[in-house]
Amino acid sequence: MMAVYEATATAPVNIACIKYWGKRDTKLILPVNSSLSVTLNQDDLCATTTARADLAFERDRLWLNNKEEEIKAGGRLATCIAGMRSLRREFEKTDNSLPKIAEYHVHIASKNNFPTAAGLASSAAGFAALVSALAQLYKLPTTPSELSIIARQGSGSACRSLFGGYVAWEMGTKDDGSDSRAVQVAGREHWPEIHALICVVSDIKKGTSSTSGMQRTVETSPLLQHRTSNIVPERMTAISKAIKERDFPTFAQLTMADSNQFHAVCLDTEPPIFYMNDVSRAIIATIVEYNRAAVAAGGEVKAAYTYDAGPNAVIYTLKENVKEIIELVSHYLPHAVPFKDAYGLFAGTQPVGRLPAGFNEAVAKKFEAGAVKNLIHTSVGDGPQVLGPDQSLLDTKGQPL
Amino acid sequence: MMAVYEATATAPVNIACIKYWGKRDTKLILPVNSSLSVTLNQDDLCATTTARADLAFERDRLWLNNKEEEIKAGGRLATCIAGMRSLRREFEKTDNSLPKIAEYHVHIASKNNFPTAAGLASSAAGFAALVSALAQLYKLPTTPSELSIIARQGSGSACRSLFGGYVAWEMGTKDDGSDSRAVQVAGREHWPEIHALICVVSDIKKGTSSTSGMQRTVETSPLLQHRTSNIVPERMTAISKAIKERDFPTFAQLTMADSNQFHAVCLDTEPPIFYMNDVSRAIIATIVEYNRAAVAAGGEVKAAYTYDAGPNAVIYTLKENVKEIIELVSHYLPHAVPFKDAYGLFAGTQPVGRLPAGFNEAVAKKFEAGAVKNLIHTSVGDGPQVLGPDQSLLDTKGQPL
């Protein structure tokens, strides 16, 4: 019987506070600016990937949520698999006792623990889980930063999913992309109180894909270069400091400002790109009012909204405010499905839409149930994890389970 | 019997192609960048103002649409009236035979030929009509540019309503604002084929006023200064050239780009300002597709959208395309009220929502009737006009008729 070479790993979703928008090299996926994100808890959102190498496999194959995906020559999947295989080959050269599994074909199965229909960018978690599973399969002595360089070539923001906690993607300056990688600014345990609420917003039409949208911005927005050269570098320094000092108001202010500016350069694109809709706008208005009321009452800014390339809101806040914000969001955006109370805040009951004291209800209108399809409560989390063989997604024949 | 000193004048609405957003002096209303607009036809949209000076009047009074407005000391109305009175006083010093009517109080009545509920900025036309009526009352030997300096202090964009056709507001550099004035780039007759469709969009909540909104942008947007210093000057030169050469595609491209950038800096403001809503976005999508289809068919860009500080769209196009665009807009945004066919395009019938050949219907969804409250067809027009005494808005006692 031949030896079986297999590993299973999970990787998290990350949501950027300082946004990645625009590539200086589209093939290597090198960005026009650095970015920074919070890694989300894998208990709530993660991708799981099993990779197996077997002499008997006839070609590389990959299944995503049990559906086979074509591994196109020169495509992003092929690039990541080739990158990992190349690291294994180099590694085998250093130690003759290592089995020559770099020459085997691989079968890979991946799935998400959240519905793809949630509209959450699953590619970041997916590519991070892919390189993590392959790194484990190949027993590579690589660091997460080294792996992030390969994951980056699958999906830019995937590089930030190689770490838990608070993660910077340093844009780098080299043409070959060897210094365009993720680094951890702080671990989850440094500031575990950061929680996130994801408001999955219904949208009628499919928006512009981020890949094509960001290149249109690079080509046509007169404001983008000013953003990347003059604004983002200062924001990266300032938000890293805020994270290190656990300064939530500064973290929140920078997060909101950078979400706004990302959408501003989208609007400054020709033709303009709109990702936020009237529901997104209403969520912004309620968070602005929530913070205003908190500050007016002698407190501090308590929440930050951020939007990626779609209408979904992610609201960052401290653990102590989550229940209040779930009530607030529920007031304007009644749930279409019951709220899944993963952190036990409501003791078996559902939010009723209570507004905080001193809150001006008129800042937004109430929408009909279903304008927000789903509300997901999560928190800052750890980086990729290796699972045991009992968690494999492949059967004995190398087919998805 | 004492002599009666009275004059009546009309002034037009103008809609900017290069947007005014941000003041460097809030009292004198000096802008952070130059701007450029098209003056609209007064047959469709205008303000009419009668000004009378009478020794018997006890104080300055003003009625807007028959409702008396307080003339607050130091306020914008008082500033404009004082500015005009001061010019009259200087003028009286030059010629002893002139009656000393600068010392008389004035009664002023003003009205618009379009509903205020239309959501169109009526203050530009209103202040331009005010200074025009006073200039006529006082028989001042002033030029429209000189008057524009006073109108500017009532409402910044009012200065551009002192001219017909295509009008630049030169930002000026002097601290006293004496060089921040309107100049005509070209008269209506130079390019009379420019028509405009105003889509009056319903909005649930009152947006941020432009006065407070623009100051928030000046104080908080990191992108605004790059816009004002580096982008607008080039656009002013380019659009003036396009107007002189009657180059519609260039005129349209600059108009759309500058509308987008104005709304981009609003979004880059803290907290962000949104003026456009989902209906505004849908109109943009249809104009983008209309132009794409025209270019794909071997033609040129045929229409330009532009949005001021609200959700209403103004679509500039050449006369020959107006009917097609009315049909297009009607397809997605069925009328709540019958279309008023001021230019006789539909020969007594109503638009049926026909789409042009090669147009991709899926670019926007169809809204319910009433999402656009009203569709107004107008065209480039002339500057302020003086009316005869039979058009007076004041009765013999100096009360509004």
pLDDT above 90 (res B120): no
pLDDT band at B208 (very low <50, low <70, confident <90, very high): confident
Which residues of chain B neighbour A261 with C-beta distances below 8 Å?
222-223, 267-268
Q: Closest chain B residue to A291 measured between Cα atoms?
A: B271
Residues in A closer than 8 angstroms to B232, CB to CB, are none
ipTM of the complex: 0.93
The average confidence (pLDDT) of chain B is 95
Is the pLDDT confidence value at B47 over 90? yes
The phi and psi torsions of B211 (rounded to 5 degrees) equal -60, -50
pLDDT band at A6 (very low <50, low <70, confident <90, very high): very high
* Cβ pair A260:B274 closer than 8 A: no
- The CA distance from B318 to the nearest CA of chain A, in Å, is 20
Extract the tokens encoding B256.
């759309």
pLDDT tens digits along A81-94: 999 999 999 999 99
Helix (H), strand (E), coil (C) string for A129-163: HHHHHHHHHCCCCCCHHHHHHHHHCCCHHHHHHHC
pLDDT tier for residue B203 given thresholds of 50, 70 and 90: confident
Pairing of strands A67-69, A105-112: unpaired
- Does B238 lie at the interface with A, CB-CB under 8 angstroms? no
Residue among A300, A281, A276 at smallest CA distance from A290: A300
- From the list B38, B60, B113, B109, the residue with the least C-alpha distance to B392 is B109
Mean pLDDT of chain A: 95
Distance (Å, rounded) from C-alpha A287 to C-alpha A280? 11
Which tens digit of pLDDT belongs to each residue from B292-321? 999 999 999 999 999 999 999 999 999 999
Q: Please tell me the predicted confidence (pLDDT) of residue B4.
A: 81
Q: Which of residues 118-177 of B touch A (CB under 8 A)?
A: none
**Local structure of A249: helix, strand or coil:** helix
Closest listed residue to residue A132, CA positions, set A121, A116, A120, A148: A148
Residue B265 contacts A where some CB pair is shorter than 8 Å: yes
If pLDDT is split at 50, 70 and 90, which confidence band does B207 have?
confident
pLDDT over 90 (residue A205)? no
* Inter-chain CB proximity B264 and A222 less than 8 Å: no
How close A84 comes to chain B (CA, Å)? Answer: 41
- Are the beta carbons of B147 and B127 closer than 8 angstroms? no
Chain A closest CA to B325's CA: distance in Å? 18
Interface residue A274 vs chain B (CB under 8 A): yes
- Which chain B positions have a beta carbon within 8 Å of A274's beta carbon? 281, 284
Using CB atoms, pick whichever of A264, A272, A277 lies closest to residue B268.
A264
Residue A121's pLDDT band, with cuts at 50, 70 and 90, is low
If you measure CA to CA, which chain A residue comes closest to B311?
Answer: A278
3-state SS, residue A29: coil
What pLDDT score does B202 carry?
Answer: 80
Q: What is the DSSP letter of B132?
A: H
Partners of B257 on chain A (C-beta within 8 Å) are 222, 268, 270
Task: Flag if B264 and A260 touch (Cβ within 8 Å).
Answer: no
Residues 178 to 237 of B: which have CB under 8 A from any A CB? 204-205, 222-223, 226-227, 230-231
What are B317's strand-pairing partners?
B195, B303
Residue B277 contacts A, CB cutoff 8 Å: yes
Residues of A with Cβ-Cβ distance to B205 under 8 angstroms: 362, 364-365
Q: Please name the residue that has the structure tokens 């910077």.
A: A168
Burial of A388 (0-12, 13-18, 19+ CB in 10 A): exposed
Domains and CATH numbers, chain A: 5-188+386-391 (3.30.230.10), 194-379 (3.30.70.890)
Distance of residue B243 Cα from the nearest chain A Cα, in angstroms: 21
Vertex B295: Cα angle to B292 and B297 (nearest 5) = 110
**The predicted structure's pLDDT at residue A203:** 73
Would you say residue A1 has pLDDT above 60? no
Tell me whether residues A223 and B223 touch, CB distance under 8 A: yes
A256 touching chain B per CB within 8 A: yes
Cβ atoms of A194 and A313 closer than 8 Å: no
- Answer yes or no: do B260 and A278 touch at CB < 8 A: no
